[in-house]
């Protein structure tokens, strides 16, 4: 991402990204948090790319609907700069999704299934430290 992103210019959008653990594969911005994930899925379809196994990274609140979308896309890890809702935490635990919130350069809260994070640390760090704005948003409940 660059400083020329929509967020950097308008400050009123959310962004989501899919990562393979080493790089951001797809990034999507929109004024709606849910829409960013829908845009990611649409871009996967356009590219004929399967998102299964990719991490879903976000800057907005993690809702139960976002966990549902992550499950449908096959994303085992969901991480955000902000908080998850209580319902999303419950679903993440039930559906075996690693859920991280309040992700910062040197810390994060892990709400469900922390066992996956050793492999994911690099990509999460890249997302939340290499850009000057919150990348990717998950929509609220």
- Delimit the domains of the chain by residue range: 6-129
**Stretch 109-120: mean pLDDT:** 82
Average pLDDT, the chain: 83
Q: Are 29 and 53 in contact (CB under 8 A)?
A: no
H or E element that contains 87: helix 86-94
Q: What is the pLDDT of residue 139?
A: 38
Q: Could you tell me the pLDDT band of residue 134, with boundaries at 50, 70 and 90?
A: very low
CATH class of the domain defined by 6-129? alpha beta
8 to 12, 13, 75, 118, 133: CA distances (angstroms): 9, 9, 27, 31, 7
Q: What is the pLDDT of residue 138?
A: 39
Q: Give the Cα separation of 56 and 40 in Å (integer).
A: 9
90 Cβ contact partners less than 8 Å away, ≥ 6 residues apart? none
112 to 14, 23, 86: CA distances (angstroms): 23, 23, 11
């Amino acid at each position: 991402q660059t400083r020329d992103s929509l967020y950097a210019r308008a400050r009123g959008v959310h962004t989501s990204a899919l990562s393979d653990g080493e790089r951001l594969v797809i990034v999507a911005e929109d004024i709606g948090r849910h829409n960013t994930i829908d845009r990611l899925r649409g871009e996967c379809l356009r590219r004929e790319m399967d998102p299964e196994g990719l991490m879903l990274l976000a800057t907005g609140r993690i809702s139960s609907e976002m966990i549902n979308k992550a499950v449908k896309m096959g994303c085992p890890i969901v991480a955000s700069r902000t908080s998850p809702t209580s319902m999303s935490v419950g679903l993440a635990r039930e559906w075996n999704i690693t859920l991280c919130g309040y992700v910062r350069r040197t810390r994060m809260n892990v709400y469900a299934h922390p066992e996956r994070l050793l492999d994911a640390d690099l990509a999460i760090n890249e997302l939340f430290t290499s850009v000057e704005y919150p990348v990717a948003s998950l929509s609220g409940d």
